[in-house]
C-alpha cells in the first residue's frame, strides 16, 4: 500500500509540472507552435488527473474509519508566526487566483499585446493572400493548426498566410466583421478581390480553395472532332479533371488551367495520340477499306503538326483525322 501512495505522489508531481508547462506555454508561446505539443500535454494530463482523483477517493473511503476513531492531530508548527497549514492554504489559493486573473486578462487582451499580423508565413510574393483570424481560447483554432501547417508545408509557394489574434487586432476584426474564430479572408492581390469565410474549414476544402484561387482564372472552349477511317470518335461526356473536361456537349473542351495540351486531355480518356498515331492506328496502317491511312490535324482549317503537344486557344476548331 505504501508503494501505491508513493506512485500517487509521483503522478501528482508529474501532473503539477505538466500544468505549469501548459500555462506558461499558453501565455508565452505562439499558438501555431504551442499547438504542436499542447494536445499531447492535455492527452497526458487529463488521464493523470482522473487517476489522481480515483486515488484520492479510494484513500478517503479506506481511511474513513481511522479518521472517526483517532483524534485529530494539530500541527502547531509555525512559519513567520503563522500556522503552517494556514500559510500553505493561503499560498495554494493565492496561486490559483493569480492564474485565473492572468488567464482572464489574456482572454481580454489586456496583457501580452501582439502586432497585427503577428506572423506571416508562406510566399509573400504570391498573388493569393490569406488573412487568418484566431484566438488561443478557440478549440476549433487548435483543430485548424495542423491543417494550416500542412498547407504551408505542401503549398506554401502558392499563398501567403497572415495570422491575426482577434484580441489585439480590432481594426482588422471590424473591417471584415469577424464575430467568431477561426475566420479567413482570401485576397487576390492582382485582381483586388476579397472572399471572407467565417468558421472552421476542413482540410480538403481549404486545400481545394487554395488551389482554385492561387491559379489564374482561365476558361477556354475549343471544339474537338476526331475521325478514324471515316468514323467519328465520340468523346465521353462529363469526363476529365477540374483543369480540363467535357460537359454534355462532348465536342467542346473546357480548359481551366494553363499549358493544357491535347495530349493531356486524350490521356485522361485513354486515347493514344502522338505525331503518328491515334488510338490503335498509326501512319501506314490500313483502314477496313484497305486504304492506307495518314494522321493529320487541322486547327481552324489549317494543318498543324504539333499534334499531342498543341495547346488550344479559346473558340478554336480542332480536327484530328486518320484517313
pLDDT confidence tier of residue 108, bands split at 50, 70 and 90: low
Residue 133: cis peptide before it, omega within 30 degrees of 0: no
- Percent over 70 (pLDDT), the chain: 80
The CATH superfamily assigned to 119-214 is: Glutaredoxin (3.40.30.10)
C-alpha grid cell, residue 57? 477517493
In terms of Cα–Cα distance, which of 282, 285, 225, 274 is closest to 249? 225
Higher per-residue pLDDT: 119 or 8 = 119
C-alpha grid cell, residue 161? 498566410
- Convert the pLDDT of each residue in 50-100 to its tens digit: 887 787 777 667 666 655 555 455 555 555 455 555 666 666 666 667 666
Instruction: Note the helical H segments in the chain.
Output: 2-28, 31-62, 64-69, 84-108, 139-155, 170-175, 203-214, 262-268
pLDDT confidence tier of residue 294, bands split at 50, 70 and 90: very high
> Is the pLDDT reported for residue 130 higher than 90?
yes
- Convert the pLDDT of each residue in 201-215 to its tens digit: 999 999 989 988 887
C-alpha grid cell, residue 7? 506512485
Report d(CA 184, CA 6) in Å as an integer.
Answer: 50
In terms of Cα–Cα distance, which of 115, 182, 173, 179 is closest to 147? 182
3-state secondary structure 231-285: EECCCCCCCECCCEECCCCCCECEECCCCCCHHHHHHHCCCCECCCEECCEECCC
Q: What is the residue-wise DSSP string for 171-209? A: HHHHHTT--SSSEEEEEETTTTEEEEEES---HHHHHHH
Position 264 scores a pLDDT of 92
Average pLDDT of the chain to the nearest whole number: 82
- Convert the pLDDT of each residue in 11-42 to its tens digit: 878 888 887 787 777 666 777 777 777 767 77
In terms of Cα–Cα distance, which of 103, 90, 182, 119 is closest to 145? 182
> Is the pLDDT reported for residue 176 higher than 80?
yes
Position 28 scores a pLDDT of 67
Position 88 scores a pLDDT of 60
pLDDT confidence tier of residue 250, bands split at 50, 70 and 90: confident
Average pLDDT over residues 154-170: 91
Q: 3-state DSSP call for residue 160?
A: strand
Which residue bears the cell 492561387? 214
Q: What angle do CA 162, 205, 202 make, to 5 degrees?
A: 80
Average pLDDT over residues 116-136: 92
Q: What angle do CA 315, 317, 318 make, to 5 degrees?
A: 130
Highest mean pLDDT among 105-109, 113-117, 174-178, 243-247: 174-178
Question: Domain boundaries in the chain?
Answer: 2-61+78-108, 119-214, 223-322
Position 67 scores a pLDDT of 53
Position 271 scores a pLDDT of 92
Report d(CA 21, CA 302) in Å as an integer.
Answer: 73
Report d(CA 300, CA 211) in Å as an integer.
Answer: 33
Average pLDDT over residues 168-174: 92
- Percent over 90 (pLDDT), the chain: 43
CA dihedral 112, 117, 123, 129 (to 10 degrees): 140
Amino acid at each position: 500500500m505504501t508503494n501505491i501512495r508513493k506512485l500517487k505522489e509521483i503522478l501528482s508531481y508529474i501532473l503539477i509540472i505538466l500544468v505549469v508547462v501548459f500555462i506558461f506555454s499558453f501565455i508565452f508561446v505562439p499558438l501555431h507552435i504551442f499547438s504542436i505539443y499542447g494536445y499531447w500535454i492535455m492527452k497526458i494530463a487529463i488521464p493523470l488527473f482522473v487517476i489522481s482523483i480515483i486515488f484520492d477517493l479510494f484513500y478517503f473511503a479506506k481511511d474513513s474509519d481511522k479518521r472517526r476513531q483517532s483524534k485529530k492531530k494539530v500541527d502547531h508548527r509555525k512559519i513567520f508566526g503563522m500556522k503552517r497549514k494556514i500559510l500553505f492554504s493561503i499560498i495554494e489559493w493565492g496561486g490559483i487566483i493569480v492564474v485565473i486573473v492572468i488567464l482572464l486578462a489574456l482572454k481580454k487582451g489586456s496583457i501580452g499585446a501582439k502586432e497585427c499580423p503577428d506572423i506571416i508565413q508562406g510566399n509573400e510574393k504570391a498573388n493569393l493572400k490569406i488573412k487568418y483570424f484566431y484566438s488561443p481560447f478557440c478549440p476549433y483554432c487548435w483543430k485548424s493548426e495542423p491543417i494550416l501547417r500542412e498547407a504551408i508545408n505542401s503549398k506554401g509557394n502558392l499563398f501567403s498566410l497572415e495570422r491575426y489574434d482577434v484580441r489585439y487586432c480590432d481594426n482588422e476584426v471590424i473591417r471584415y466583421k469577424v464575430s467568431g474564430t477561426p475566420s479567413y479572408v482570401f485576397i487576390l492581390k492582382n485582381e483586388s478581390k476579397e472572399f471572407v469565410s467565417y468558421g472552421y474549414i476542413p482540410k480538403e476544402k481549404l486545400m481545394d480553395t487554395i488551389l482554385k484561387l492561387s491559379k489564374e482564372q482561365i476558361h477556354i472552349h475549343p471544339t474537338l472532332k476526331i475521325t478514324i477511317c471515316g468514323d467519328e470518335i465520340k468523346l465521353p461526356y462529363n469526363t476529365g479533371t477540374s483543369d480540363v473536361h467535357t460537359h454534355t456537349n462532348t465536342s467542346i473542351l473546357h480548359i481551366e488551367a494553363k499549358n493544357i495540351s491535347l495530349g493531356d486531355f486524350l490521356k485522361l480518356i485513354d486515347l493514344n495520340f502522338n505525331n503518328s498515331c491515334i488510338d490503335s492506328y498509326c501512319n501506314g496502317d490500313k483502314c477496313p477499306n484497305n486504304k492506307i491511312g495518314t494522321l493529320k490535324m487541322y486547327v481552324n482549317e489549317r494543318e498543324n503538326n504539333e499534334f499531342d503537344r498543341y495547346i488550344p486557344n479559346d473558340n478554336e476548331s480542332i480536327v484530328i483525322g486518320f484517313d
